[in-house]
Amino acid sequence: MNELVTQISEKVGIDPALAEKAVGLMLNFLQTEGDSEAVSRMIAAIPGGADLVSGATGGGGGLLGGIMSALGAGGGVMALGQQLMSQGLGMGEITSLAKETIATAKQYAGDEVVDQVVASVPGLSQFV
């Protein structure tokens, strides 16, 4: 299990396997919706970040997510929330998960890169 996932799982109070899936979904969402250069730098800086994205999407969801977004099916932050709720998370857990994921990403990638990612995704700043 990824150290980042364990840390987030403990802080949010959810099962590590669920945390792994949820963090992967969040990173995939950022990869699809955010500034591609900043998100790439952030994911590369997170130990196991690319594996988390791949695991959450079955290996190819980044491209599929990009295509769906381009076709108008992305849905932004609300669609991510629905994905996370379908995994069994409540709104409080999702909020905590988002805040912990961003805080942890800042530990690895730095404030500047992560702030650039957050600013590039419409509506995300109100959740983190």
pLDDT at 70 (0 to 100): 39
pTM for this one? 0.82
Sign of CA dihedral 20, 23, 29, 34: negative
Residue range 94-128, pLDDT digits in tens:
999 999 999 999 999 999 999 999 999 988 888 78
Residue 2, pLDDT above cutoff 50: yes
- The residue type found at 62 is G
The Cα 53–Cα 72 span in angstroms is: 21
Q: Is the distance from CB of 86 to CB of 4 less than 8 angstroms?
A: no
Q: Delimit the domains of the chain by residue range.
A: 3-119
Q: Is the distance from CB of 1 to CB of 20 less than 8 angstroms?
A: yes
